[in-house]
Amino acid sequence: MRLVVLDGYTLNPSDNPWTDLARLGDLTVYDRTRPDQVAARAAGAEIALTNKTKLDAAMIDALPALRFVGVLATGYDVVDVVAARAHGIAVSNVPEYGTADVAQHTISLLLELCARTGDHARAVAAGDWSRAPDFCFWLSAPVALDGLTLGLVGYGRIARRVAAIARALGMRILASTPNRQGDPDGWRDIPALFAESDVVSLHCPLTASNARFVNAELLARMKPSAFLINTARGGLIDEPALAAALRAGQLAGAGLDVLSREQPPADHPLIGAPNCLITPHIAWASLPARKRLMATTVQNVAAFLAGKPVNVVNP
């Protein structure tokens, strides 16, 4: 059985070996694969593993030997799952490996927006405190989260972990999701959630129906003091609209770990936008999380080889 990993570097930059996966078949690992290299590298492979390398309908058509795709992530929008199903190809993801890590990063973006810790530390290093006339100074007054409302779009594992941390900080929790399971302080539809929340955090998958749903109209509903956080998928946001809203002061700031194009071009509208923190899609990347991702990937492949695939997203 031939296995190919199309873009393995971020999962294993040298600290998370492929040893257990290699025991399951004839394994070839590529650190990175350009779109024009996919067909040649995956040719003849029954199993392909990918993180961000796309397998669209045309590519799936071009790989007749392919029987299983393992996504090295929770989100699986890089694979055309409908086309895969039509070809009898099972697609599995890793549904839970970085819940605590992504929740932590979500809160870290929010706290940085509220306290501007990094900006203040750099100002001290530049001598601003030494020159200040008072015993303290601030670039902007810290924002207290106690008593504010956090609105969560999606209420799965990560959102519920974020809610638990936010409650410990004294926040009230609202949520919007098609399946109302869980215990937020209230359920809201999307427009009401954006209007009522002091912080909106996105925790939903990217689909054809919700692409760029955070648009100019929805952003205009937000309080001028509110923050938007996105650790889900960049494509959920109309990024030029968010940049315009930040420039116009329609909201107080945004914290993003994902963009619609990764890596972003140098002229991306949100790079350099006022009060916009962007981290380079690292919420998932702690070594313990990557080890869990590797272990579940091995389990997914082994289950497929045993004829009992698990974590299948296109049954």
What residues are annotated to the active site? 233, 262, 281
Please state, in angstroms and as integers, the Cα–Cα distance from residue 68 to each residue in 27, 208, 268, following that order: 14, 23, 35
Angle between the N-to-C axes of helices 99-115 and 157-168, in degrees from 0 to 180, rounded to the nearest 10: 40
Eight-state DSSP code of residue 222: S
How many CB atoms are closer than 10 A to CB 255?
A: 26
Reading the block at residue 301, the tokens are: 């492949």
Only one residue has tokens 């315009």, namely: 244
Alpha-carbon Rg for the chain in angstroms = 21
Eight-state DSSP code of residue 201: E
Burial class (CB within 10 angstroms; exposed 0-12, middle 13-18, buried 19+) of 176: buried
29 closest CA partner among 49, 52, 56, 53: 49
Specify the pairing of strand 68-71 against strand 47-50: parallel
Cα–Cα distance, 258 to 262 (Å, whole number): 8
Cα–Cα distance, 13 to 64 (Å, whole number): 30
Eight-state DSSP code of residue 261: S
Cβ atoms of residues 137 and 160 within 8 Å: no
